[in-house]
Amino acid sequence: MSHNTFGKLLRMTTWGESHGPMIGAVVDGCPPLIPVTEAEIQVFLDKRRPGRSRFTTQRREPDKVRIVSGVFTDEESGNQVTTGAPISLIVENTDQRSKDYSEIKDKFRPGHADFTYQQKYGIRDYRGGGRSSARETAMRVAAGAIARKIVPAMDIRGALVQIGPHSIDYSRWDWNEVANNPFFCPDCEMAKLWEEYLDEVRLSGSSIGAVVEIMASGVPAGLGEPLFSRLDQDIASGLMSIPAVKGVEIGAGFAAASLTGEENADEIRIKNGAPDFTSNNAGGILGGISTGQAIIARFAVKPTSSILRPGKTIDKFGSETEIMTKGRHDPCVGIRAVPVGEAMMALTLADHYLRHRAQIGKGV
């Protein structure tokens, strides 16, 4: 992990600003001979794309991805496959409205990176948030689409499980519902309530936080490294690297603080000839290493900091002032964080899959 690079053996480096000519990612260390097309990647980008419903920012970007290196046509199959060389992905920025930036050029929007970027670097590209814009996450989703293909049998899915005070009912969880509403909500009852609630938030010019849950199934036992590249540690690192995330938990998570040893213990039995756990408070990870159960992680997303109400702040000259962020924003940025969370999970697991192969010498 370093500056703008994520991963150790499968490495994603993202670059680009919200209002520059383009954004991109370089995915390095990918195994060769993996079939990959722009269309496959586009499917995931489209899930994250803004403007899909009235609950996400109205910025209109086609977000068309181009693969400009690292693939070649396999003569035998006729498929376009990876060659083992770095895969360069590019998305052009098309909707860079020539706004008036005088309002945010010198003032620090509360809750944004404006203040800290200026403190650290002494300069910042303020147009649309520049480098700190959530637009960067489009490239994570694109890179994640490649990562998904590296681990055979792995399936990664995400869902929104809480908006503001309204949590889903886990007993109603239905993965099929996730695609049926604009919230990636697995509980169709709750989706209805959210629609009403979020309209209210949106129309009042406010915003609200959320919780996302990511599940990875088909992950073999044995992935992870002891102590300082624990699988749970690196998943936490990946999810916490998503803008606006303020908390991460694995399995029972914070609820484990209230459990006794008996309640928390996931006992082990043999089922169909294979080890099987009677519960999954561990979230599929013990001692930093995957158990073969589903890996479960959740992360909390803070409310969008840009709201249609004036807030107290200072400017870069050290004077007190007020600011109100106009423009197109997500009332609940947690919604679009779902495909981003899936991508970070995929990248983390694929990286560990390669690391495992290195030390142990075989796939798992």
Which residues ranging from 127 to 156 are in contact with its own copies (CB under 8 A)?
130-132, 136
Indicate the length of the chain as a whole number. Answer: 364
Tell me how far, at minimum, the Cβ of 189 lies from its own copies, in Å: 19
Q: List Cβ neighbours of 66 (8 Å cut-off, separation of 6 or more).
A: 38, 89, 90, 91
Give min distance, CB of 229 to its own copies, in A: 5
CA distance 18 to 94: 10
Phi and psi angles of residue 188, each rounded to the nearest 5 degrees, phi first: -65, -25
**Cβ atoms of 198 and 331 closer than 8 Å:** yes
Stretch in the footprint of its own copies (CB under 8 A) among 46-54, 56-64, 162-170, 177-185: 162-170
- Show contacts with its own copies in window 32-71 (CB under 8 A): 32-33, 68-70
Q: Is 203 in the site for its own copies (CB under 8 A)?
A: no
Q: Which parts of 287-316 interact with its own copies (CB under 8 A)? A: 287-292, 300-307, 309, 311-314
Residue type, 172: R
Options 36-44, 50-58, 95-103, 224-232: segment touching its own copies (CB under 8 A) = 224-232
State the nearest-atom distance from the C-beta of 178 to its own copies, in Å: 19
d(CA 255, CA 126): 40
- Spatial distance between the Cα atoms of 211 and 71, rounded to a whole number of angstroms: 36
What amino acid occupies position 142? A
Q: Is 16 in the site for its own copies (CB under 8 A)?
A: yes
Give the DSSP H/E element, type plus range, for residue 334. none
Residue type, 61: E
Contact 93, 50 (CB under 8 A): no
Q: Which of 55, 117, 183, 194 binds its own copies (CB under 8 A)?
A: 117
Nearest distance from residue 237's CB to its own copies, in Å?
4
* Residue 228 binds its own copies, judged by CB under 8 A: yes
Give pairs for 246-249: CB < 8 Å, separation 24+: 246/300, 246/301, 246/302, 247/299, 247/300, 248/297, 248/298, 248/299, 248/300, 249/297, 249/298, 249/299
Contacting range for its own copies; rule: CB under 8 A; set: 53-61, 170-178, 183-191, 229-237? 229-237
Name the segment binding its own copies (CB under 8 A); options: 25-33, 54-62, 169-177, 183-191: 25-33
Min dist. Cβ of residue 131 to its own copies (A): 4
**Residue 341 contacts its own copies per CB under 8 A:** no
Distance CA 343, CA 109 (A): 28
**For residues 322 and 311, is the Cβ–Cβ distance under 8 A?**
yes
Find the shortest distance in angstroms from Cβ 195 to its own copies.
18
Among 46-54, 180-188, 191-199, 260-268, the segment contacting its own copies (CB under 8 A):
260-268
Distance CA 162, CA 299 (A): 10
As measured in angstroms, the least distance from the Cβ of 76 to its own copies is 9
Those residues whose C-beta lies under 8 Å from the C-beta of residue 135, and which sit 6 or more positions away, are: 16, 18, 23, 61, 93, 128, 129
The answer to whether residue 14 forms part of the interface with its own copies (CB under 8 A) is yes
Does the footprint of its own copies cover residue 247 (CB under 8 A)? Answer: yes
Cα–Cα distance between 114 and 164 in angstroms, integer? 25
Among 63, 177, 187, 249, binds its own copies (CB under 8 A): 249
Cβ nearer to its own copies, comparing 47 with 356: 356
Name every residue whose Cβ is closer than 8 Å to that of residue 362 and which is 6 or more positions away in sequence: none
Q: Does 327 help bind its own copies (rule: CB under 8 A)? A: no
**Rule CB under 8 A: is residue 100 a binding residue for its own copies?**
no
Closer to its own copies by Cβ: residue 176 or 208: 208
Stretch of 27-35, 44-52, 178-186, 335-343 lying at the interface with its own copies (CB under 8 A): 27-35
Q: Is 275 in the site for its own copies (CB under 8 A)?
A: yes
Q: How far apart are CA 343 and CA 47, in angstroms?
A: 12
Residue 78 is a binding residue for its own copies (CB under 8 A) = no
